[in-house]
Structure 1
């Protein structure tokens, strides 16, 4: 039931028509719409497929022009002919997560029971629910096992969930800059963002779709606060320092005197044009609820017991949102579970966002791991 035109890499499919999706909150969702993009070609035995899992503010357009912004895909540097995720070798799939706002069923999509957008009537979702929806897509595509599942930040959480819940469906996994559970600090930052959205009068209890007024101010503030966590102090200092914005003297007012203020305002304004405020609430909540420790009675190693999946865990030295110590917890659990695991801490001052940027050591690490995994799977001689 693809809605894409011939030759297009953008698709939409109705999933779960026969087996409704059971959510962790206890609600059953009927058929769901899944929007996804593909790059490259699936080989004869369907052994070269890679699933890319996007982060909180990402979407399925990993290497495609984003239709709302006109910008290149968020991982365009990674995906394409001759790149690390070589589309001459691999079949790349990236789907918009459940609860998203770029075509996959979420709060901004139409509730078939009412004919209106779900709004806050949409059920609370988890990372586990996102992955279960992706399993439906995997089955629809007829792919028995992903050659690799890869993602950074929230995408890394999905990657871990895939490896823990469906090890037989994942040959290799690359969780980048993530953790096995969300920290209290990260939950706190998310709560600030959610409160900013809900404090905006235009939020209207989440039922703003028909009014023509959206909580853009609140969502912009949420984005600004979150964006600070994606950077490091060193990166902020290197980029902006205390430099003034288009002026030689302080204004002694509340305009954007400093370049860093102008930058954050720019980030906030651009974000509201492409993201739904309710989706922001739902997806941040899903990240908050993610906890592989509690899911496995406090024993993270048991989540990966007996796994045959190959792992490559990547962290960044200046990432204080998902610090190396939390990535090492994953590595230690995998070692305890006797898993095949590699680990690299990349030295960089780019902060959490380093996984989206041209970070040579990360690129070299992922390239080497994929080549080794491809040999193990027989994709190359």
Structure 2
């Protein structure tokens, strides 16, 4: 085996290599100099709330009122407050899987029970209506829809969203929680918010933030829009946890959202990176990967990657290739088990080109060594 790499290429990160917009940084600095460093209103500063309302209307076609939105310390924090607001102990939350790593823990900590629905056999890995109907029932309190998906990159078409929403209404009294954090990154098709469909608006909660679109993961600003009573309850929970989000982070978010030039990392740039990464992996023995329609990740199926030199067809145990690639070849991938798919690995392609290219080279070397005979 090769010697251990010490210069690690980390392709596991969930943060796009996009520089925080100058407008966001300038707004944050101005807020500091102006002394806006105290507590803010629990729901968020009025300026940011107004910017979010305008964004929802202009980009998503959803007309939220001010009492139907709130700002929190990142989309994860927002989601936890929302789940805590709507769940009672034992309530079920439907989670299409593969799923974002945080969903199960957030649901459980809010007192709920995650109910996973495997979508890997569905066309384009998008949740199917029949599969959803099987798990809906009187204990179902929420259904999470993540489009584009982390980790698969699947984009739920508008027609399917309408079918899923109709199914939820027919079989339960559940809320639809639409996680749209990756809405900017769509390469095929287009992003549609189910909240823009009037028949589902009253029971839909949209979760979003500035982390991915504007390269502001460390600023920790997320937001949500939904029914006023749910939002108010979530605001109360947030106040009990942290009083309010960072005042400076909120002003930075305002600076980004109100700047039409802030999101300058074009879709074309990320599409080119996606295509380069797919091309590098598709020819590797045992690796199954397809171009995602959206998001910033490839979710590679490693089920058939073999390591036994005497029988290259013998598959590796789940997660072993991910460990081997990091320990021996110095490239870190996201272990699929965390996303509900143990034989898979997630890798980020929305990173600096030199890191991406070197990481892809090391993955290729790791696969070659797995198959190499002694």
TM norm structure 2: 0.28
Greater RCO (CA < 8 Å, at least 6 residues apart): 2
